[in-house]
Structure 1
Amino acid sequence: MLEEAVRALREWQHDDEPFQLHPGDVGWYWRFGAEATAAAVRTWRTDGRIVAVGLLDGEDLLRFTIAPDARGDDALALRLADDICDPERGVLPAGTVYVESPRGTRFQELMFERGWQSDVPWTPLRRDLAAPVPDSGVRVEVIGPDRADVHAGVIRASFEKSTFTGERWHAMASGSPHADARCLVAFDDGEAAAAITVWSAGTGRPGLVEPMGVHRDHRGKGLGKAITLAGAAALRELGSSSALVCTPSSNAGAVATYRAAGFAALPEVHDQRRG
């Protein structure tokens, strides 16, 4: 089921679709292991075909998307809303919970009709990859299994609550989405200073940045822009049509970094919240 869900997510990625759950999101979650990832993925089928995929990202957030040709299906939207709103069905617990889903679907309309509210805004950003990406201007290396600790160490030093380790890097790399991913590290005077992982969904489809971080001791030097440019270049080499990322709108520094690396902001999106 997990591999089938990843394949479906790949097929649903198109540049003219709203920002949505990406196979790279599942690939990044795979750092917790295949068993945990399988337990976190939810799928819905119609006539045997997967038509919706969700990733339970923590206990209270369901990151969720629907097949593009099924987003206006009233019957499917009702089934999804019933399953997600009812704690006894085991998708989300009772209390305050959140759902991330593409804009403009019948499902979202139903959730608002049932009293769910918009939560804080997020800013999706996109960089077109039709033209070559400028050189990052710093030394950047592709990180493989033998240097997993280097990449993991930068990510831990970039995010206050990160639990990423070399062991989790290897777990992430064991997942099928990682076959079309690249982990990169930028160096500052010989020290590992910024890191990014980028995920391709296949040739001609948008790729994803998840995550990108700059070591707390190396900030203010333009390394966020540099490693993001390197990640975009890697996605272009993998055949991606564009590079996507989404960050809280309140994180002005991150939005500015992505803009500096040639990303254009798309319309803000909001999770839906109950409670």
Structure 2
Amino acid sequence: MAIEMGRPGVDGLGDVVRVLREWQYGGAPVQVHPGDVGWFWRFGAERTAAATRTWSRAGKVLAVGLLDGADLLRLAVAPEALRDEELAQRVAACVSAPERGVLPGGKVYVEAPVEALIQDVLFKDGWEVGDPWTILRRDLGAPVPDPGVRVEVTGPERAHEWAAVLRASFDGSTFTEERWHAMAAGVPYADARCLVVRDERGEAVAAVAVWSAGEGRMGLIEPMGVHPAHRGHGYGRAVTVAAARALQEMGSSSVVVCTPSSNAGAVAAYRSAGFERLAERRDLYRDAG
């Protein structure tokens, strides 16, 4: 059977999230997580559906793509299909031809699991290696210590506060309270929590969202930020430990996070919170001019 590319639509997003959950078992490659879809849902269900692609054979989804902006496609591949030649060739053909409606012309990027054959196919087709990202993981089989700070779960009544901390944490961020509510209305948020850390005066100083994929599966941190006025006091480590602890309570077997390798401060914060640095991942890109 031929492999077909599809667009799930709003009604099909629940099935996409379910498939991504199934791919997050222990030892599976680190790739697009239900939480990545959940974080994108801050733009609303219709925009999330418009950004989602699937590749299927005989009705079974083998790969999911999320357009994280106009020029970046992030891919997840079914573990049993990571080295599937037909799938790799089909995805490569779709992402390399602007007329197929996946990626436009000009400079574009593809993020795929390190183990996926699609990486090899694109590289042989002339795609180039981009900047490195560091993948970090913490096993949750052992107890996670108390983070030593005041941690609260953010609900709708405090969404404005969580949004303000996160917005301040990233240059150019446009995150708002309205986007928090859109994110919280999404299918993946049923397995998520937003946490805020407060200092000794009760001021919100750090924020994080954690996403579970179900009991015994890998959880995700996305995003995590510390207000710039409160950096250098260990809040990055504290909020990361709080995130791991929350995911453990939710039944996750491990937690992963990805950050640009150039962001030494973030890498150090995750390492100090007990995360192990795994292999780097590099996007592939082509520039059609």
Deviation of 1:2 (Å): 1.1
Pairing of 1:202-213 with structure 2 (within 5 A): 202-213=214-225
Deviation of 1:78 (Å): 1.1
2:147 to 136, 149, 171: 136
Partner residue, 1:124: 135
Partner residue, 1:155: 166
| Structure 2, unaligned runs of 5 or more | 1-11
Deviation of 1:122 (Å): 0.5
Partner residue, 1:80: 91
Give the distance between the partners of 2:117 and 2:239, measured in 1 at CA: 38
Give the distance between the partners of 2:267 and 2:136, measured in 1 at CA: 8
Give the distance between the partners of 2:173 and 2:39, measured in 1 at CA: 13
Aligned length: 275
Deviation of 1:72 (Å): 1.5
Partner residue, 1:233: 245
Please give the root-mean-square deviation of Cα atoms over the aligned residues, in Å.
0.8
Deviation of 1:176 (Å): 0.9
Give the partner amino acid of 1:274.
R
Partner residue, 1:63: 74
Pairing of 1:120-269 with structure 2 (within 5 A): 120-188=131-199, 189-269=201-281
Give the partner amino acid of 2:278.
L
Give the partner amino acid of 2:73.
L
Is the 2:29–2:79 contact (alpha carbons within 8 Å) kept by the matching residues of 1? no
Partner residue, 1:53: 64
SS at match of 1:194: strand
SS at match of 1:267: strand
Deviation of 1:18 (Å): 2.2
Give the distance between the partners of 1:44 and 1:129, measured in 2 at CA: 32
Between the aligned residues of both structures, percent identity stands at: 63
Partner residue, 2:4: none
2:27 paired with 1:22: no
Partner residue, 1:271: 283
Is the 2:88–2:118 contact (alpha carbons within 8 Å) kept by the matching residues of 1? yes
What CA deviation, in whole Å up to 9, does each residue of 1:221-249 have, x standing for no partner?
00010011111000001100001000000
Give the distance between the partners of 2:26 and 2:104, measured in 1 at CA: 33
SS at match of 1:130: coil
Deviation of 1:71 (Å): 1.4
Is the 2:169–2:226 contact (alpha carbons within 8 Å) kept by the matching residues of 1? yes
2:23 to 9, 12, 37: 12
2:42 paired with 1:31: yes
What CA deviation, in whole Å up to 9, does each residue of 1:142-192 have, x standing for no partner?
101111111101001111111111110000000011011010000112110
Partner residue, 2:3: none
- Higher deviation after alignment, 30-39 or 67-76: 67-76
Deviation of 1:74 (Å): 1.1
| Structure 1, unaligned runs of 5 or more | none
Is the 2:259–2:267 contact (alpha carbons within 8 Å) kept by the matching residues of 1? yes
Deviation of 1:11 (Å): 0.5
Deviation of 1:108 (Å): 1.2
Give the distance between the partners of 1:142 and 1:204, measured in 2 at CA: 22
Pairing of 1:93-104 with structure 2 (within 5 A): 93-104=104-115
SS at match of 1:63: strand
What CA deviation, in whole Å up to 9, does each residue of 1:193-232 have, x standing for no partner?
0000000011111100000000111111000100111110
Per the normalisation by structure 1, the TM-score is: 0.99
SS at match of 2:118: helix
Give the partner amino acid of 1:152.
A
Deviation of 1:104 (Å): 2.3
Deviation of 1:14 (Å): 2.3
Deviation of 1:95 (Å): 1.1
Per the normalisation by structure 2, the TM-score is: 0.94
SS at match of 1:167: helix
Give the partner amino acid of 1:118.
V
Give the distance between the partners of 1:204 and 1:197, measured in 2 at CA: 19
